[in-house]
Structure 1
Amino acid sequence: MKWHHNLLVGVINGLEQFFFHKRRSVKVVEELFEKNKKWGSRDRKIVSYLIFENVRWVRKFAYCSNIKELSTKKDLWSILGSSIVIKDRLLPNFIEFSHLDSKKILNREKKIKNNRKISQSIPDWIDSLGVNDFGNKIWDKEIKALNIKSNLVLRCNTLKSNINHLKKELSKNNIDSFLIKEYPHALIIKEPKKITNLSCFKMGYFEIQDANSQKVALSCNLKTRMTVIDACAGAGGKSLHMASIMKNKGEIIALDPFDNKLKELNNRAIRNGIDIIRTLNTSNKNLISNIIGKADRVLIDAPCSGLGVLKRNPDAKWNMTPKKIKDLIKVQDSLLEEWSKYLKKGGELIYATCSIFKNENTNRIKTFLKSESGKNFKIIKEKTFFSYSTGFDGFYIAQLKNCE
């Protein structure tokens, strides 16, 4: 591949923002594109590819460059050079790469074949967590799967279309997609393309949502006319999915502490043709105290480490820490205690995270069931959706019933 110096300078600027200024990689790429509007489609693909690859594989590339810790812009050029050598076996003739030796880089890469922490580019503590929870064999498969870039997955909005109709609409725009039996509303896009400019998107035929994320609403055992609380709604992907399953009949109360996310949810609901979602800032939850003990379903899509979605968000493995997870666990326990009281007798609580690790999942449910708030609940079903066995993001979903 022919490498253009100005593009690599852009990559370095992006990596500097991520590693030294702790900016999100997605935001960094967006801002680079905004500042460099003359870059063509191919240029943007190269820049985004190299930034995300170096974020994902930084520990591996740093080892191959013989760097113990990133601290200078020269270090960033070194890991970028290593990534290019490992991909193309040849370094561009740029002065910033003059200190690198391609043979040494490739020789060091060979040495890490049996060192999972470096070869799979993960912090020691995450590797230990994976081995403790799943054993070497499963963890080895899972971390390899989590390091493979995710597919683009759509969820058909069944209020406005059906899966076969949507597939045909995409085909008209030269977008190939395929169905997966276990995911009734999902379409996998074969080659990533910009799709939010399509008329069928603007008309609300689909949303972008990972296949295993779609399992959350499907696990809620929903019926029309139900009263449902989405306690951690965010921008509302799961609220929208639940509304479509409920055929836009009933009530969904979607809560979140951030008004900008609730505004986005309201806009998405309009596009989707949904009017049963009532948004509410979490700080105003006293306004729904009248439905304590009356809700049919409560969904807690809990804040979590995000370590199940490394396929599409490799940032998480470098930004998350054991201390942050301990703090998140307190939040998760608090959410279960708080929102469980809104369920009526026979109602169901669904707890979900985009983490695969037991300390945020199974252990939280065990703790809840032993608590005063959870003593009348029983577990109906729980499942961890692994990336290695599904090909999608890692998720955990537990269904509990209030037997009071």
Structure 2
Amino acid sequence: MTPSARLAALVELFDQWQGAREPAEIIVTAYFRNRRYAGSKDRRWISNLFYKSLRNMGQIVDFIEKNNPVTTSEKRAVAALLKLEDISVEDLKGIYLEGPHAITFDDGDLDALAAGELPFDPELNFQSWISEKLKTQYQDHFPKVAAAYQEGAPTTFRVNRLKANREQVLAALKEEGFDARATEISPDGIILSGRANLNAHPLMRDGHIEPQDEAAQISAILTDVKPGQSVMDYCAGGGGKTLALGALMENEGRLLALDVDGRRMQDIEPRAARAGLGIVKMDRVQGLPETPSEQDLFDCVYVDAPCSGSGTWRRQPDQKWRLTEERFKDLINIQKSILEKAHKFVKPGGKLVYATCSILEEENQKQISAFLKTQSDFKVATIKGAEMGLPASACNGGMLTLTPDAIGADGFFTAILQKN
């Protein structure tokens, strides 16, 4: 594809994203599926700038509106080239706005955009109601948190302890030319530079690695589950935490994966087989007894609750523009309901682990505070993050709150509640 065709494709993606409900990832995948002529370098250039623009879209729109009240997909794309990629006006005119596939762009609009300054204000890259929540919660720390969301998230994998060790996997990847390094906190994590795709790689195919952010790996490790124990993954979804917990259990014990929608768990069985994990059983939440008997109780109940996903907005930047206040309130009610049900399955002396990929306190600390007011037989088990090398600032009130600026991983919250 020519540079002008790439720019035109970026405009088309902005158009499709504006009028769609689907996640950006689905839109991008469908777009290139219907355009097989786009080479790998073309797809990488277009998608990278598309996601970078979504992460910085608040600043881009503010910048455009200060120069021209009408914001279009064409202006978004041109502003991204000028201000995010630092392309000169001369190159933009001579390379990106020339040729048979070039978009039509007014010279006056181009000169106005070129003359303006992109505001360095990460606060603009959130909806105003979200910015207000984050500013109130993080106060002086907010600028660093907001700035972290301007960059993309790392590509991270978890090494499956049942089949491999990290040193072996790192050596194999480096021998193939991958720029790979170990995560600093998780003993099982590997980070690859760039947007490396290992979906068809033998390490993935044979179950030696699984994609999983370091923050999620840390959350699983903090459960301190042991071989032979009984563990429930209450909101299993696709099974990423289920597999991590099973590896920590060394494939010994009882591991039950649950979800309200059985379709969400359809990948767990093949993923578990690939990982060599034979102790996983699956059921729907609706299949649980209303009043658990002793045999229905677990040493650990792990709840990765549905949430805003605010901790993952670097890799899913479109979602921060899709979230509504009404949906946010619904999620808080869902989280409360899940805690009210899941805690019943914790045996005396066992633990309830509540986690979200969110950095908003309404979904995290406030949920725990409200739960403890009604459940006096639970108490917070203090997370000693320093023992893992976690920053002290991330372990407030005995609970772990990771923001993307802390260790470079996703934002993630974990609270461990011990039952008396």
Q: Same fold (TM over 0.5)?
A: yes
* Among candidates 66, 73, 77, match of residue 74 of structure 2: 77
- Maintained 8 Å contact 2:55/2:151: no
Superposed CA deviations along residues 124-178 of structure 1, whole A, max 9, x for unmatched, are 111111111010x211001111221011011000100000011122123221211
Superposed CA deviations along residues 162-217 of structure 1, whole A, max 9, x for unmatched, are 00011122123221211134210001112332211111211100001000011111
Cα distance 1:369–1:95, how it changes in 2: closer, same or farther (>3 A)?
A: closer
Matched letter for residue 356 of structure 1: I
Alignment of 1:194-273 (within 5 A): 194-273=197-276
Cα distance 1:393–1:22, how it changes in 2: closer, same or farther (>3 A)?
A: same
- Maintained 8 Å contact 2:233/2:301: yes
Segment drifting more, 55-64 vs 80-89: 55-64
* Among candidates 128, 134, 143, match of residue 130 of structure 1: 134
Give the Cα–Cα distance (whole angstroms) in 1 for the partners of residues 21 and 331 of structure 2.
20
Count of aligned pairs = 393
* Among candidates 188, 211, 226, match of residue 191 of structure 2: 188
* Among candidates 150, 154, 157, match of residue 151 of structure 1: 154
1:355 maps onto 2:352 in alignment? no
Give the Cα–Cα distance (whole angstroms) in 2 for the partners of residues 296 and 69 of structure 1.
60
SS of residue in 1 equivalent to 2:350: strand
SS of residue in 2 equivalent to 1:183: coil
Percent identity between matched residues is: 27
Unmatched 5+ stretches in structure 1: none
Give the Cα–Cα distance (whole angstroms) in 1 for the partners of residues 207 and 357 of structure 2.
25
Question: 1:63, CA displacement in angstroms?
Answer: 2.2
Partner of 1:4: 3
- Maintained 8 Å contact 1:10/1:32: no
- Maintained 8 Å contact 2:67/2:116: no
Partner of 1:314: 317
Runs of 4+ in 1 over 4 A off after TM superposition: 67-71, 287-293
Cα distance 1:385–1:331, how it changes in 2: closer, same or farther (>3 A)?
A: same
Alignment of 1:105-184 (within 5 A): 105-110=113-118, 112-113=119-120, 115-118=121-124, 121-135=125-139, 137-184=140-187
SS of residue in 2 equivalent to 1:286: coil
Partner of 2:106: 98
Partner of 2:388: none
Partner of 1:377: 378
Superposed CA deviations along residues 333-372 of structure 1, whole A, max 9, x for unmatched, are 111110101011000010000111111100000000001x
Cα distance 1:59–1:181, how it changes in 2: closer, same or farther (>3 A)?
A: closer
Partner of 2:404: 387
SS of residue in 2 equivalent to 1:378: strand
Question: 1:78, CA displacement in angstroms?
Answer: 0.9
Matched letter for residue 117 of structure 1: E
Cα distance 1:170–1:75, how it changes in 2: closer, same or farther (>3 A)?
A: same
CA RMSD of aligned residues (A): 2.2
Question: 1:101, CA displacement in angstroms?
Answer: 3.6
Cα distance 1:170–1:386, how it changes in 2: closer, same or farther (>3 A)?
A: same
Give the Cα–Cα distance (whole angstroms) in 1 for the partners of residues 164 and 171 of structure 2.
11
- Maintained 8 Å contact 2:67/2:113: no
SS of residue in 2 equivalent to 1:274: coil
Question: 1:258, CA displacement in angstroms?
Answer: 2.6
Partner of 1:29: 28
Segment drifting more, 257-266 vs 272-281: 257-266
Segment drifting more, 333-342 vs 276-285: 276-285
Question: 1:389, CA displacement in angstroms?
Answer: 1.6
- Maintained 8 Å contact 1:345/1:402: yes
Segment drifting more, 54-63 vs 332-341: 54-63
Partner of 1:59: 58
Give the Cα–Cα distance (whole angstroms) in 1 for the partners of residues 294 and 106 of structure 2.
68
SS of residue in 2 equivalent to 1:65: helix
Give the Cα–Cα distance (whole angstroms) in 2 for the partners of residues 6 and 258 of structure 1.
42
Cα distance 1:248–1:35, how it changes in 2: closer, same or farther (>3 A)?
A: same
Give the Cα–Cα distance (whole angstroms) in 2 for the partners of residues 7 and 106 of structure 1.
20
- Maintained 8 Å contact 1:25/1:51: no
Give the Cα–Cα distance (whole angstroms) in 1 for the partners of residues 294 and 2 of structure 2.
61
- Maintained 8 Å contact 2:59/2:122: no
Partner of 2:14: 15
Partner of 2:386: none
Segment drifting more, 258-267 vs 326-335: 258-267
SS of residue in 2 equivalent to 1:298: strand
Give the Cα–Cα distance (whole angstroms) in 1 for the partners of residues 179 and 294 of structure 2.
45
- Maintained 8 Å contact 2:55/2:317: yes
